[in-house]
Structure 1
Amino acid sequence: MDWIKMNYSRFLNVTSLGRKPSPIRVLTEIVLNSPKTLISMAGGMPNPDFFPIQDISLTLKDGSKLNIDTSLVTRAMQYSSSSGFPELINWVKDLQERVHKPPTLGITDENKKLDIIITNGSQDGICKTLEACVSAGDNVLIEVPTYAGTLAILNPLQPKILEIESDKDGIIPGSLLRYLSKWKPEDSKKPNCSIPRILYCVPNGGNPTGSQLTWERKKEIYKLCQDYDILIMEDDPYFYLQFSKPYVPSFLSMDEDGRVMRFDSFSKIISSGMRIGCLSGPRALVNKIIQHQQVSAVHSSGLSQVVLFSVLQEMGHDGFLQHCDKVADFYKRQRDACLAMANKHLSGLAEWFEPSGGMFLWLKFPQIKDTFKLISEKARAKEVLFVPGNAFMVDSSLPCQYLRSSFSLVSSEDMDKAFERLSALIKEELNQ
């Protein structure tokens, strides 16, 4: 709601607060949005007459041909807006409105109004946001276990990571409250208070757990973040890979304050090699990510953006959502096959719960003290690979009884062989 005041400078570190719009990128935006009668001798745009690519034609999986408009190809070859290809941004914004109905989309508060930047995959947006918000010594709230890529971003920033417990239903609100109860809600107004300012979570198809944060828990968590003025980083690349419908509503869908930074990805449903994701959040914070983009990657690949936009435009929003359903159905069948093989070979040796989405099965081996050497050395010698669980823990040096198994690429026959080899390995280890 417009009347809820947000002090966005509270969430930004010194580096981010010091960022200003790049004057060269500002000129580029002026040129891109000016009439053709404008004569510009200001920018450093190369002459497109010497770009060798003129036309692009795609063959889709259904055999149809998609010829990308020549004018789009011409624009894709040149420098573009740091926030992203305008048509792609609009397409994504329409999708967010249809799927999530963000309360901040149509508000009058310019700082809180929903804005979008196209990023080099969702991880690029996560990285830039953490680098904008976290300073050494800051308390940061993270659900555990968590995505290893986020830990790799965070660790060099040297925060104090507060580990929030989770289970098959995602973050446990009581665990979050136990940390926050060390402070009073009004402490968030004190400039030098150590109260956390960031909560990071993967709410659907959790990587590595396959868990799904329930609607009831989301409401509790959002209320706690309101009380203590915390920014929610909703890393949700598996949103469209939920195995049951309707979709569990997102944090973005309940964000009346403008305190959610949502990270979506096209990697899991269209192409991982395109490296296209998007960040949706309050304009005051998204602008800071755009300013970072201006001095780092400049903008996401124009060619990838135009190809993606052309494919999405061809699909339409209905076609895109139908495609997502097909992808989710495939991964659900893969999950079921994985569970069947786990039951066949690992019963009595391992513990697990049924993944609600995504592409991972999280296995615990209660009789094994630490899976690291077992998986990284001995399993490889038996020609089977998994990820040791310590990769997803804040302190990866501690013993960990878990491993992550991915069912995205493997046939049921190969899953059978993989778990058979793993079972033999575990039994050998226990009989030593």
Structure 2
Amino acid sequence: METTMDYRNFIKPFSGRRRPNITRELTKLNYNAPKEAISLAEGMPNEATFPFEKITVQLKDGSNFTLRGPQLGSALQYLPTRGYPPLVKTLSEFTYYVHQPPNWEARELIVTNGSQDGLSKCIEMMLEEGDPILVQNPLYAGIEGILKPFKASLIPVPQDQNGIIPIMLKNALEDWKKRCTADKELKMPKLIYLNPTGSNPCGATIPLERRKEIYKICCDYNIIILEDNAYYFIHFNGPSPPSFLSLDTEGRVLHFDSFSKVLSSGLRLGWVTGPSVLIQNLELHIQSAHLHSSTLSQVMVQNLLKTWGFEKLIAHFGTVCSFYKIRRDCTVAAMERHLKGLCDWVVPSGGMFVWIKVRGVGDVYDMLLNRGVKNKHVTFVPGHAFMADPNQACNYIRAAFSKASPKQIDKAMSLLAELIREEKVLLQRKLSNCT
């Protein structure tokens, strides 16, 4: 990769002290050893002691595959930290097939327990306690949970219907730069978290030209992009714009993929693609935490990909996307029926959520979590959970349209309308009592 990137600045000393475990390295070697090789090195259980004879997986399209014999043994056994070698190879080919990033030979890939696992360990690898980090605001609540123990200084970047706003990103960086000049103990941020397609919670997708602007700003200020692309294949307005990974000429994108939204969330299968230096260090974090991600899940997915091929896999993703688009449309129609004049919203371009702004109610927390749950038996997430500062008053609501039926969605929006009207009456009474 033609880059002047010095990754030493991005790997904190704590992470830099990690060293490979020799038994784990021997496990890696054993997978590539000749058949006649004899190993007394690995402390692995013998597959003959496992009680499983075979596992057959029946797919909804009528196809199936069976794990038995040596392949079943592999599926129930320890494996290298990077992942099940055939799957690592397939995922590498799939990632290139979808994203075609430049300088592909300078990147590597590692399998994780969903993208959340990869995000958590990458942040652990790079963020010191108290460090600043740029985040889209509102942001995925799971990231706030990762960052809280680090006492990180969240630098929020406002979003509109097209995701984070480049000029706002640049302004935030310049403002922080001035603070660093005034306070020598402050550092400039080195990371930005982005959920660029069908973002959680607001369903926004960053257009290509805006992505290019954001990428250039990150190059100018030497920032690594944590690209959480869990909803890449759930984009309702045609194909998703090219990923930041696709635009990454400098080696400053860590790209987090996941099958959770499009195959199965319970498989807990994701992968991280990025510059070799960073992936190699991430491998040591995973090695010391849980050795490797679930072997059975990896072997099952590898067999699925082998059975279907990439074209059929992409076609399946299209079916999933169509399913959620119908749910999205039902949700928006229900909101038009029940919430018009009470709330504002932007029709989400992807993902599983709609972000609702309530008119005339300064804070929705008690309304939703007390009166809504207890009196109406309906549950929404108050926007506080997704804000860079969760302690501020917030009049936004996240509604998920992925699981509930269209009939349930319509009922929920009707109940929400009742709740908002009742809340406004309560607020008016309080105001009258104060005066």
TM-score range, shorter chain: over 0.9
Q: How does 1:226-305 map to 2 (within 5 A)?
A: 226-305=219-298
Contact 1:390–1:397, Cα closer than 8 Å, also in 2: yes
Q: How does 1:409-420 map to 2 (within 5 A)?
A: 409-420=403-414
Shift of 1:394: 2.0
Tell me what 1:429 maps to. Answer: 423
Provide Cα deviations, 1:237-267, integer angstroms capped at 9, x if missing partner: 0000011223210000010111000001100
Contact 2:176–2:188, Cα closer than 8 Å, also in 1: yes
* TM score, norm. by length of structure 2: 0.94
Is 1:29 matched with 2:31?
A: no
Contact 1:251–1:260, Cα closer than 8 Å, also in 2: yes
Q: After TM superposition, which residue ranges in structure 1, 4 or more long, deviate above 4 angstroms? A: 182-185
Contact 2:12–2:128, Cα closer than 8 Å, also in 1: yes
Tell me what 2:131 maps to. Answer: 138
Point out the more displaced range, 115-124 or 305-314.
305-314
Provide Cα deviations, 1:149-177, integer angstroms capped at 9, x if missing partner: 01000010111110111111011011110
CA distance in 2, matches of 1:418, 1:230: 42
CA distance in 1, matches of 2:366, 2:186: 42
Identity %: 40
AA in 1 matched with 2:203: G
Shift of 1:366: 2.5
AA in 2 matched with 1:316: G
Contact 1:55–1:68, Cα closer than 8 Å, also in 2: yes
Contact 2:115–2:269, Cα closer than 8 Å, also in 1: yes
Which consecutive residues of structure 1, in runs of 5 or more, have no partner in the other structure? 107-112
CA distance in 2, matches of 1:126, 1:372: 28
Point out the more displaced range, 325-334 or 388-397.
388-397
CA distance in 1, matches of 2:394, 2:186: 34
CA distance in 2, matches of 1:397, 1:12: 31
AA in 2 matched with 1:14: P
Is 1:203 matched with 2:202?
A: no
* TM score, norm. by length of structure 1: 0.95
Tell me what 1:109 maps to. Answer: none
Shift of 1:181: 2.0
Shift of 1:92: 1.2
Tell me what 2:53 maps to. Answer: 54
Shift of 1:183: 6.9
AA in 2 matched with 1:162: I
CA distance in 2, matches of 1:171, 1:236: 15
Contact 1:54–1:74, Cα closer than 8 Å, also in 2: no
Which consecutive residues of structure 2, in runs of 5 or more, have no partner in the other structure? 427-435
Tell me what 1:6 maps to. Answer: 5
* From 168, 172, 179, the counterpart of 2:172: 179
CA distance in 2, matches of 1:52, 1:257: 49
Shift of 1:87: 1.2
CA distance in 1, matches of 2:240, 2:391: 37
AA in 1 matched with 2:380: F
AA in 1 matched with 2:400: S
Point out the more displaced range, 51-60 or 156-165.
51-60
Contact 2:197–2:240, Cα closer than 8 Å, also in 1: no
Contact 2:226–2:254, Cα closer than 8 Å, also in 1: yes
| DSSP 3-state at the match of 2:350 | coil
Tell me what 1:101 maps to. Answer: 100
* From 321, 346, 352, the counterpart of 1:353: 346
CA distance in 2, matches of 1:214, 1:244: 11
Contact 2:381–2:398, Cα closer than 8 Å, also in 1: yes
**Aligned residues between the structures:** 422
Q: How does 1:158-173 map to 2 (within 5 A)?
A: 158-173=151-166
Shift of 1:46: 1.0
* From 220, 226, 238, the counterpart of 2:213: 220
Provide Cα deviations, 1:271-301, integer angstroms capped at 9, x if missing partner: 0000000101111001111101111110001
Tell me what 2:433 maps to. Answer: none
* From 352, 355, 359, the counterpart of 1:366: 359
Tell me what 2:326 maps to. Answer: 333
Is 1:383 matched with 2:377?
A: yes
Shift of 1:73: 1.3
* From 372, 377, 397, the counterpart of 1:403: 397
| DSSP 3-state at the match of 2:341 | coil
Contact 2:24–2:287, Cα closer than 8 Å, also in 1: yes
Tell me what 1:83 maps to. Answer: 82
| DSSP 3-state at the match of 1:241 | coil
